[in-house]
Chains A and B, each alone.
Chain A
Amino acid sequence: MERKNFIRSLMIGAVSTPVIIEACKKSSISDDGTTSGSGSAGTTASTNGTCTVAPTETEGPFPTKSPASYVRSDITDGRTGYKLTAKITIGNLNNSCAALAGAIVDIWHCDAEGNYSEYGGTSMQSTNYQSVHFLRGRQTTDSNGLVTFTSIFPGWYSGRATHIHVHVYNAAGTSLNVTQIAFPEGSGTSLALVNGYSKGLTGYTYNNADNIFSDDKTGVQIAAVTGTLAAGFDLTFKLNVKA
């Protein structure tokens, strides 16, 4: 090791706890050898003298800015089911419901068995980071106010009609609306064709008995859904918010 680097590694060790020693970039240490004027007074007790090693590796990998893993159009993450393409258009109630561009739209729904992506029940449980947020997505509306997601047809769970959650934000991330999208019912509809996947529809809660959708007498929360099991389904929905 070069003498200069060796001295630098000692300095790093002296001002930080051993556990957070990280390969520091050269720029993070001033050239005159002092480290005054950065960070704040810590509360960590000294573990100096425990004889831990300082990092002796090539620097890197260097991080790059990375958006939330929600930001993608295909949200299936390997979940299997009948394909569903969801086209959601956001309108502005304060502008005659004209298309709202630049709005952030989050959607999430359950898988074919009726399960959401979430952490397990106990605090000891860990999750693989590769596909932890399945069936959750985020897109920004285009000039037509449109976002498009590729997903699977949601399953159902006890007490609720089939639904998709939607959260709309303005471009700055301020919440504009939180709602849910319902599905049309009856013979020949997508809901009847999918038939609740492997569960069937025994014990299913229909929209008129659902505690979210039952007050929607005119069907404004019900999307238009077309398609077949073989080709997949297309869902279209217009949501107007005050922006």
Chain B
Amino acid sequence: MPKKIIILCYRKIIDDSNANPWDKFVHEDSFLEFKMQSQLYNQELKYNTFAELLINVPGADKLHFLVSAAVTGYLRQLNGIIPDVLDNLGRRFLTFENFKFEIINSDINDIERHKIAINFFSKPMVWHDTVDNQLLVSLEQTMEGEEIFTNLFQLQPFISIHSIKDLS
């Protein structure tokens, strides 16, 4: 197959049921930041949920961005490695610099209704081939004819190919 350059997106969903410490910090701190920042759009405290704010208050969609400051410190702690996604050797291998934070649902009175997503965008990779049901990719390009180190992995739920470019 002709080689392509792809960027993967992993959409990590975090809600009250997530148990691991990183997820819990992100959940709790993004909820506190939502409670603070949402007051800018809710000065009379007429609304409780993020959905109500989106429907009724112009500009409330900026809360995705404003609340994301609560998680960037935790993103730094990942040292540029996308969590959870493993190659066929059982290792995390995807690297990232770009992200997008989303509030899926929230309620200023109920942290259990606070649900967010962090979209991790991988650095560009070369998609060399598809072996069985796995993608054979490499993180770097080399000159024609040179040996190159590759990773083999399987597309899983919440992972998608975000962008694609032909490599001529």
Contacts and interface: CB of A to CB of B under 8 A. Distances in A.
Interface of A: 17-22, 24-25, 28, 38-40, 42, 44, 47, 50-57, 61-70, 104, 117-119, 123-130, 132-133, 136, 167, 169, 173-175, 178
Contacts of A62: 21
Given A53-B89, A56-B90, A63-B22, A17 B69 contact: no
Interface string B7-51: 000001000111111110100010011011001100100000000
Contact of B99 (A17, A64, A127): A127
Contact of A65 (B18, B25, B39, B97): B25
Contacts of A123: 100
Nearest to A124: B162
B83 A126 contact: no
17 contacts: A18-B156, A19-B84, A19-B156, A22-B23, A56-B89, A66-B77, A68-B29, A69-B73, A118-B65, A124-B162, A126-B99, A129-B72, A129-B76, A129-B97, A133-B72, A136-B69, A173-B36
Contact of A57 (B64, B68, B79, B90): B90
A130 to B, nearest CB: 7
Contact of A119 (B32, B65, B157): B65
B20 A22 contact: yes
B36 A21 contact: no
Contact of B73 (A40, A68, A173, A174): A68
A55 B77 contact: no
Contacts of A117: 65
Judged by DSSP, the binding face of B is mixed
B73 A128 contact: no
Contact of B91 (A52, A57, A130, A178): A57
A154 B88 CA distance: 50
Contacts of B23: 22
* B33, B76, B90, B92: residue with the most chain A Cβ atoms closer than 10 Å: B90
A207 B153 CA distance: 59
A25 B22 CA distance: 11
Nearest to B62: A118
Given A53-B87, A57-B92, A127-B98, 12 more contacts: A19-B159, A20-B12, A20-B18, A20-B84, A66-B76, A68-B29, A104-B36, A119-B62, A119-B64, A126-B121, A167-B40, A175-B39
Contact of A22 (B40, B79, B84): B84
A175 B29 contact: no
B153 to A, nearest CB: 9
A1 to B, nearest CB: 10
A125 B156 CA distance: 22
Contacts of A22: 20, 22-23, 83-84
B101 to A, nearest CB: 9
Contacts of B19: 24, 28, 38-39
A56 B40 contact: no
Interface in B48-105: 62, 64-65, 68-70, 72-79, 83-92, 97-100
